[in-house]
Structure 1
Amino acid sequence: MMESCANIQEHLGAWLDGELAPVVGERVELHLKQCPLCLGEKGRIERINSTLKNTLAAEAANIPFAPFWAGVHARIVEERSWQVRVVDWFRLTLTPPRLAWAIPAVILLLLGVLSLERFVPGLGFGQTNLASVESIDGHGMNVALLRESQTKTTIIWLFEDHEAETESTPEPASADPAF
């Protein structure tokens, strides 16, 4: 019966306020008829509720309602300054769960914007340092010509290629800048 009493006493306040489902309310009523301990707890909660209602009624009677409501209404309709509205907006917007999703979203957005140049030439926001080998002459001269158009830089690269000495390539060099 003690476990049942603890469960019933947990629901007593809600039952007195009429907040319980009818089935649970009937179970509480039935238990109160059989258990003097829970009936005493019900009486204690009723006395507390009565004291609170009487105190609130006495204090509220001292407050003139018309000026009180005028003050409340003025606070409701008053226009807040733009600084307060911005601070309130940030306070509501920058909550930890939203920040947890916003940070990766901003990173992805930045990566997407910065990678647009790769897919749409000329749309980039920064300079690229793209250089391409314009020609390699493998007919015994061992020279590579590298040109970078933005800085107008030309690099002539002389190198030794021991493998090329034994074999020569009859293919002409392509004018395509791709590797």
Structure 2
Amino acid sequence: MKSELKVKYLQFLLGKKKDSNEGFTLIELLVVVIIIGVLAAIALPNFLNQTAKAKQAEAKTTMSQVNNAQALHRNTNNDFAGDMSTLALGLPVATANYTYTISGGGDTAGIEAQAANSAMKGYHGGNAFFKDGNSNSVIATVGCEADQAGNSAPGYPSLSSAATTLAGAAACGSNFSPVK
């Protein structure tokens, strides 16, 4: 009798296989959907922030190229260029992300990069030619990033050819920080 009991018990256990047609319960599906929603809510703002930073890299690069070209133009022509075409860099004055404006001539020149949408920061930069305390000719260059995102015109940095120090010759405007 004992062996018959063992056989019947094994048959019972083998007969308890899960039916392959069973699916997920509604609760299980809801839990999975909620978890995916929470993960998406966390990841989406980070993704959008990274895309804005990538677009802002365009403005930083353009500003740097213009500042360098302005310094070279000043050394060659004894004045700064007044527009993008005079610099002959082949850079556009407007892209999908930014509109660039150059002001210059004489001993100072500035560039502003106005963002196309309010999720990105504006930039401004510039160059100032001045004589330091030892009467050496110096070109001060500055690049600045807005502290807050927004698409208003950033204006130009503080530029002075009458200064005797780098900090006095070219400095970021209010609500702007130097680009690192």
Q: What band does the TM-score fall into relative to the shorter chain?
A: under 0.3
- Structure with bigger gyration radius: 1
Q: Please identify which structure carries the higher strand content.
A: 2
Q: RCO higher in 1 or 2 (8 Å CA, sep ≥ 6)?
A: 2
TM-score normalised by the chain length of structure 1? 0.26
Q: Please identify which structure carries the higher helix content.
A: 1
